[in-house]
Amino acid sequence: MVAHIRDYSVKRMRWLDERAFGEGIALAQSIPGATAMQLAAYVGLRTRGTVGALLAYVGFGLPAFVLMLSLALFYERTRNSSQIISLFSGLQVIVVALVVHALVSFGKDSVKSYREFSVSALSAALFWSGASPFLVIIAAALTGAVLFSNAGAAHPPESSGAQDEPILKHITLLLSLLLAGLLTLYFAHAELFQLALVMLKIDLFAFGGGFASLPLMLHEVVNVHGWMDHRTFMDGVALGQVTPGPIVITATFVGYLTYGLAGAVVATTAIFTPSLVLLIGVSPLFDRLKTSVHFLKASKGIVASFVGLLFSVAVKFMLSVPWDAMRAAIGIAALIALLKNVDVLYIVLIGAIISVVML
């Protein structure tokens, strides 16, 4: 998705040059949220200000929401069909392969010293023992800020000048709208208010892209609130890979199966709102933020903790699958294809066909 955004915004429309787009990637990877969604909003922000960021964010996420909502409706009505059971029985194996692949990608980029490995291992152990992943992430950030080596050379920050003032007004307005929405839910529908809080919290802590949200969502949706079991959640993750958007669109699936259409709208809005507000607010300050030694060291600790969290999720998902020779073959083939950079959509579609025919 990042490659498509670059092609459209830099080469075709010439909204940004390569340098500005590269800064957008760095910013999107430094704050929580789905990287592609953040990058789309950054292009809108640089092109048409806060309104442009909002429109780009909605425009980029809306197709994924509509498709996931349709798939969730189809899933709810057909989930007890023998063919659908076979279909998702195979797709759950592919979800395991997806998480293992994400674990390998995170680990390769983030665990390069014994200190980072120690943070990852301790995070996995704490999460497995029942500790809240949010507390694990906070502890990892503090550990990184104190113990990790200097994460990068600092350069004098560029002054953001007068642009800070309108950004502050826009952020204040967005936060006021968010607070008003939460207060409305609190008095009108306590369960939807709780769903919104859960998704807001997940997005605020999902450093490192969309897959970073999986351990947090699994913990809240399955372990804390019991809105669905492991297998149903894995089905939602599989459907999230069919949609043309970030994997956190799984929130739409969770919201719909929990509280219907209203739940889908609330969960989707909440899972994307904090990262958008952060992007708009941090953008003029990013030159200063990216030169902060403590911020860079804490970020290394956070990303290292997600390696451990993803490892625990991979193990939990593996234990939820009733393995046999065919499922093992599908899983291994899917992982090999992912490692060879085959488009995930093809992997899911081919796996779905094999599952219906063979399982």
Would you say residue 261 lies in a domain? yes
Would you say residue 93 lies in a domain? yes
Would you say residue 137 lies in a domain? yes
pTM here is 0.83
Would you say residue 116 lies in a domain? yes
pLDDT bin (cut points 50, 70, 90) of residue 162 is very low
Residues 63-101 pLDDT 10s:
999 999 999 999 999 988 888 888 888 888 998 998 899
Would you say residue 220 lies in a domain? yes
Q: Over range 23-35, report the average pLDDT.
A: 85
Question: Considering its fold, how many domains does the chain have in total?
Answer: 1
Residues 223-247 pLDDT 10s:
999 999 999 999 999 898 878 778 8
What are the φ and ψ backbone dihedral angles of 50, each rounded to 5 degrees? -60, -40
Angle between helices 18-30 and 35-78 (to 10 degrees): 60
Would you say residue 15 lies in a domain? no
CA 65 to chain CA mean position, Å = 14
Q: Which residue has the higher pLDDT, 28 or 265?
A: 265
Q: Over range 161-180, report the average pLDDT.
A: 77
The DSSP secondary structure of 54-106, one letter per residue, reads: HHHHHHHHHHHHHHHHHHHHHHHHHTTSHHHHHHHHHHHHHHHHHHHHHHHHH
155: which residues sit within 8 A by CB, 6+ positions away? 291
Count CA within 13 A, CB hemisphere, residue 348: 18
Would you say residue 54 lies in a domain? no
CA–CA distance, 165 with 50 (Å, rounded to integer): 13
Would you say residue 71 lies in a domain? yes
Q: Which residue has the higher pLDDT, 165 or 219?
A: 219
pLDDT at 159 over 60: no
pLDDT at 187 over 90: yes
Task: Show the tokens assigned to 253.
Answer: 């699936």
Domain residues for the domain of 129 are: 63-358
54-63, 73-82, 130-139, 143-152: which has the minimum mean pLDDT? 143-152
172: which residues sit within 8 A by CB, 6+ positions away? none
